[in-house]
Amino acid sequence: MHQKKSVRVDLDPQETSEWLAALDQVVDEGGPDRASFLLERLAERARAMGVELPIQHNTPYINTIPPEEETPYPGDRALERRIKSLTRWNAMAMVSRQNKFDHGIGGHIATYASIATLFEVGFNHFFHASYGDQPGDCVYFQGHASPGVYARAFLEGRLTAEHLENFRHELRDHPGLPSYPHPWLLPGFWQFPTVSMGIAPINAIYQARFMRYLENRGLIPETPRKVWAFLGDGEMDEPESMGSLTLASREKLDNLIFVINANLQRLDGPVRGNGKIIQELEAAFHGAGWNVIKVLWGTDWDELLARDKSGLLVKRMEECVDGEYQSFKAKGGAYIRKEFFGKYPEVLKLVDHLSDEQVGRLRRGGHDPQKIYNAYKAAVEHRGQPTVILAKTIKGYGVAEIEARNPTHQQKELNDRAVQLFRQRFDIQLPEGVANNVEFYRPPDSSPEMAYLHERRRQLGGYLPERKPPQSRIQTPPLEAFADLLGGSKPPHPSTAMAFVRMLTVLMKNPETGKRVVPIIPDEARTFGMESLFRQFGIYASGGQLYKPHDADMFLYYKEQKDGQILEEGITEAGSMASCTAAGTAYANYHIEMIPFFIYYSMFGFQRVGDLIWAFADARGKGFLMGGTAGRTTLSGEGLQHQDGHSLVLASTVPTCAAYDPAYAYEIAVIVQDGIRRMYQEQENRFYYLTLYNENYAMPPMPEGVTEGILQGIYRFKSAANGKAKLQLFGSGPILNEAVRAQEILAERYSIAADVWSVTSYNELRREALRVERKNRLHPDQPPEQPYIVKALGAAEGPIVAATDYMKAVADQVAPWLAGRLVTLGTDGFGRSDNREFLRRHFEVNAESIVAAALSRLARDGAFDPAKARQAFTDLGIKTETVDPAVA
């Protein structure tokens, strides 16, 4: 009988030892690979016989690469150490000086101290700045280790002492240096914004996938390019950090290398005081299908481990938790001897020949160039899987009094004694004046270390990070190319979402833009009526389609192909945004302009992945975010968690995002066409957000002379039919149709003439008005200019009722320039499941509510009889005593 046993007792020690002896013999005679082969066969057989085997995702707490498999270090260790020490010095000096000078300005010493060797081995041996005429590796530097990246660029002569002097003084001195990697602030230097934890890992994964996408589509040549992401161990707690791991293994992204700087600490204290973060991450990455390389112990441990015949040293390594490992480094050699080695007499004996100081200096793997080099080499050579290197380091390494201590993250300044100890610790040779004043130091170019540094970078194709996008070559198709959208619709009428899909198809067939368009969809294509694109352009599948789709005999079948153009991302807005980021910055990283269209449920965009969008803007990302099924009342049935009435408010917070809320097909054509021109022809660093709705209605032909207004944000769509308008109605998206209906009701029932305006972008109108206002403010001696909103309205008279499917705050943005005339109707509050008619009535944005608001305002202005207004409310079915939808 098969019995489960939770406690395993050795029932036959004699038999056990025979099996173990047999294994020993196999290893001795056949080698470890043979042993591993046999064990795998045994495990297969055992499983087939129903024997329960533990699933193991962890290996022992020692280095993955055994010393006998290591390659000797190819570089000059002494010169590299000198370069690294100088980088350490300059990085420390930069932060410490600035904080002495400007107390509280911030910066980090401890993080770079822990990651310096991991960076330097990369800089000297691995990070390619180019591959022939192709761009080089993408390196995501741990954000708050930026002082080290600056310090190296200073040694390389790419940044000046003035730059370092102005670290975190971007506004008062020139040239300033931003705190962290921000392409927006240092566009020739930084490539990837990383400092918001979790952004780098997910962006790096999708970057590696996008690189393959471009290769598989034949848009860039295949190169050995790698994506390196240097990440904190605390950072791995972010859901974005680990959320897309299986994409990387599924896509066999062997161009991707994560290096996790496991210094065992985060900001407040240990990452896993009561456990071992490296083991936890190993299991998770193994489970997700990654190649895992642990770099735990430095070379000086090899000899101890070789003499550890009892296995007790490894046992001791395994039983200690990170909180203890942190204490060992915080408390020094004598403590380590007593508390770590002292637990077992056999283990204690292993360090008999070492002084306390030597015991204290036994290095961790992440500080040993030999171990790091071998891990990087194995990672670069590994095929078929992404690699994660788990490097054990020490936070604040080598910095007296802060090393491995809980407050180390916050340490910004070093006192004179600590500076002296730092110099001694890393044997930093400096001219005396430089050392005493904690000045920056770069040896003369003729020195051996500088010659070495430059030669290494020359071998690796130049310096990095560096961001140098070439001139764009895309010519925008003329507006006439989208004639389909400009001439008005015939029944059955489309929605703006459908009109957009038509435009996208035209763009994808256009010889200029066709191949550059990247449609990115998180499992919503059918929602937006985009399934027609599947067969025409193919869904990207790196391995091709391995099955015959059940709908293969249908016209619009689900076609996956290796060079498919559509990125069907599955249900991950974060992943899709990361793809959008890779595509929208391809002009800088691959020197090819790609035009992403990320099409998603508008509710799950800015609200859900806002920080990724912010980073996209920082990275000078270009492209289009398309918020489908937009509007709190236009998306019927779906209710509170689906109906979006606020993404436009959030979009307005991103400086480079131009947000539009178009009503008609031709507006979309004008906005997108001009967007391509501005971003890809004029090279402006901006991107677009457009709402798309799923309500079908007649799309009018484009009136004459409206393109400027569409782009600026407002134009008169329909003048009053009878008489000069005494009232102005603003509408956006499908609510524009409500405004038109209100115009008719007002004319027919109340003899009030009103003009109707389409407001395509309150956000853009406000920005322009603010720019003009600022100019006027700063030049009181010059005649004031008028903002576009004021010019556009011209002599249009009377109060203005603005209705939108978004929050009132969207329309309120232009209130300051409308002299108290503006009444806003919008969809503040939680959504409901019902149809459009009831939703618009509930949120008071239907035609009747617009009419009521107009009459009410006219009555208050003395231009309409209040008693008649009250009667009108009854006639229009307006309930005056219901709960405010904003709080309902």
Among 195, 464, 672, 711, binds ligand TPP (CB under 6 A): 195
Using CB under 6 A as the binding criterion, the count of chain residues that bind ligand TPP stands at 19
Q: Check residue 519 for interaction with ligand TPP (CB under 6 A).
A: no
The secondary structure of residue 677, as a DSSP letter, is I
- Looking at 85, 191, 263, 496, which residue binds ligand TPP (CB under 6 A)? 263
Tell me the C-alpha distance between 266 and 271, whole Å: 6
Cβ closer to ligand TPP: 107 or 787? 107
Helix (H) or strand (E) holding 626, with range, is strand 623-628
Q: Cβ contacts of residue 777 below 8 Å, gap of 6+?
A: none
At 68, list the tokens: 């006998």
Residue 728 binds what, of Mg ion, ligand TPP, none (CB under 5 to 8 Å, by partner type)? none
Cα–Cα dist 182/170, whole Å = 12
Q: Does 496 bind Mg ion (CB under 5 A)?
A: no
CB of 328 to ligand TPP, least distance (A): 17
Residue 232 sits in the site that holds ligand TPP (CB under 6 A) = yes
- Give the one residue of 267, 483, 571, 698 binding ligand TPP; rule: CB under 6 A: 267
Q: How many CA atoms lie within 13 A of 256 on its CB side?
A: 31
When asked if residue 111 is in the footprint of ligand TPP (CB under 6 A), the reply is: yes
> What's the min distance (Å) between Cβ of 537 and Mg ion?
43
Query: CA–CA separation, 856 vs 859, rounded Å?
Result: 5
Which partner in ligand TPP, Mg ion, none is near 196 (CB below 5 to 8 A by kind)? ligand TPP
Largest distance between two CA atoms of the chain: 108
Q: Which partner, Mg ion, ligand TPP, none, binds residue 686 by CB below 5 to 8 Å per kind?
A: none
Local structure of 79: helix, strand or coil: helix
Which CB atom, from 112 or from 715, has the smaller least distance to ligand TPP? 112
Residue 568 contacts residue 540 (beta carbons within 8 Å): yes
* DSSP bridge pairs for 624: 597, 688
Gyration radius of the chain over CA positions? 32
Q: Which residue is nearest to ligand TPP (CB)?
A: 232
Under the binding rule (CB under 5 A), the answer on residue 232 touching Mg ion is yes
* Beta carbon nearer to Mg ion, 265 or 824: 265
Nearer to Mg ion, 405 or 857 (CB): 405
Q: In degrees, to the nearest 5, what angle opens at C-alpha 518 toward C-alphas 592 and 475?
A: 55
Nearer to Mg ion, 322 or 755 (CB): 322
> Which one of residues 183, 234, 443, 787 is an interface residue with Mg ion (CB under 5 A)?
234
Tokens coding 652: 């307005």
3-state secondary structure 13-58: HHHHHHHHHHHHHHHHHHHHHHHHHHHHHHHHHHHHCCCCCCCCCC
Q: In what order do the strands lie in the sheet with 291-295?
A: 138-140, 227-232, 256-262, 387-392, 291-295
Residue 114 CB, shortest distance to ligand TPP, in Å, is 6
Q: Which stretch binds ligand TPP (CB under 6 A): 50-58, 82-90, 233-241, 659-667?
A: 233-241
To Mg ion, the closest distance from the beta carbon of 276 in angstroms equals 13
β-pair partners for 261: 232, 391
- 630, 660 contact by CB (below 8 A): no
Residue 450 interface partner, choices ligand TPP, Mg ion, none, CB cut-off 5-8 Å depending on type: none
d(CA 417, CA 248): 47
* Using rule CB under 6 A, residue 326 touches ligand TPP: no
CA dihedral 502, 508, 512, 513 (to 10 degrees): 90
* 408 part of the interface to Mg ion, by CB under 5 A: no
The binder of ligand TPP chosen from 233, 280, 282, 764 (CB under 6 A): 233
Please tell me whether residue 235 binds ligand TPP under the rule CB under 6 A.
yes
The alpha carbon torsion through 831, 657, 736, 795 (nearest 10 deg) reads: 130
Complex with ligand TPP: residue 594 or 615, whichever CB lies closer = 615
Q: How far is CA 39 from CA 34, 42, 141, 541, in A?
A: 9, 5, 40, 35
* Least distance to ligand TPP, CB of residue 102, Å: 20
Q: Is 654 in the site for ligand TPP (CB under 6 A)?
A: no
- Give yes or no for residue 240 binding ligand TPP (CB under 6 A): no
- Nearer to Mg ion by Cβ, of 337 and 364: the residue is 364
Report, in Å, the least distance between residue 330 CB and ligand TPP: 15
Helices (DSSP H) in 320-415: which residue ranges? 322-331, 333-339, 345-349, 356-361, 369-381
Nearer to Mg ion by Cβ, of 234 and 443: the residue is 234
> Which residues make Cβ contacts (< 8 Å) with residue 873, sequence separation at least 6?
852, 855, 880
284's enclosing H/E stretch is: helix 277-287
In this chain, which of 395, 502, 718, 840 binds ligand TPP, going by CB under 6 A?
395
Smaller CB distance to Mg ion: residue 390 or 811? 390
Contact call for residue 270 and Mg ion (CB under 5 A): no
SS (H, E, C) 788-838: HHHHHHCCCCCCEEEECCCCHHHHHCCHHHCCCCEEEECCCCCCCCCCHHH
144 interacts with, out of Mg ion, ligand TPP, none, CB within 5 to 8 A per kind:
ligand TPP
For position 266 contacting ligand TPP by CB under 6 A, the verdict is: yes
Using the rule CB under 6 A, is 135 a contact of ligand TPP? no
Out of ligand TPP, Mg ion, none, what residue 195 binds, judged by CB under 5 to 8 A for its kind, is: ligand TPP
Closest CA to 574 of 183, 131, 243, 117: 243
Does 263 bind Mg ion (CB under 5 A)? Our answer is yes
- The least CB distance from residue 366 to Mg ion, in Å, is 11
Q: How far is CA 803 from CA 160, 416, 599, 757, in A?
A: 54, 65, 25, 11
Residue 144 as a binder of ligand TPP (CB under 6 A): the answer is yes
Instruction: Assess 410 for contact with ligand TPP (CB under 6 A).
Output: no
Interaction of residue 405 with ligand TPP, rule CB under 6 A:
no
CB of 92 to ligand TPP, least distance (A): 15
In the complex, least distance from residue 265 CB atom to Mg ion, rounded to whole angstroms: 5
Q: Are 209 and 253 in contact (CB under 8 A)?
A: yes
Q: Which of residues 232 and 831 has its CB atom nearest to Mg ion in the complex?
A: 232
Min dist. Cβ of residue 15 to Mg ion (A): 46
3-state secondary structure of 600: strand
Least separation in angstroms between residue 230's CB and ligand TPP is 9
Give the number of residues in contact with Mg ion, rule: CB under 5 A.
5
322 counts as binding Mg ion under rule CB under 5 A: no
Between 195 and 501, name the residue whose CB sits nearer to ligand TPP: 195
Three-class secondary structure of residue 580 per DSSP = helix
For residue 846, which phi and psi values (nearest 5 degrees)?
-80, 175
Specify which residues 294 forms β-bridges with: 390
- Residue nearer to ligand TPP on the CB measure, 122 or 234: 234
Out of ligand TPP, Mg ion, none, what residue 267 binds, judged by CB under 5 to 8 A for its kind, is: ligand TPP
Span from 84-92, 262-270, 304-312, 378-386 in contact with ligand TPP (CB under 6 A): 262-270
Residue 298 sits in the site that holds ligand TPP (CB under 6 A): no
Position among 233, 251, 644, 695 found at the interface with Mg ion (CB under 5 A): 233
- How far apart are alpha carbons 464 and 613 in whole angstroms? 25
Q: 197 touches which of ligand TPP, Mg ion, none (CB within 5 to 8 A by kind)?
A: ligand TPP
- Could you say whether residue 374 binds ligand TPP (CB under 6 A)? no
Report the interface residues with Mg ion, using CB under 5 A.
232-234, 263, 265
The binding site for ligand TPP (CB under 6 A) comprises 111, 114, 144, 195-198, 232-235, 261, 263, 265-267, 271, 395, 409
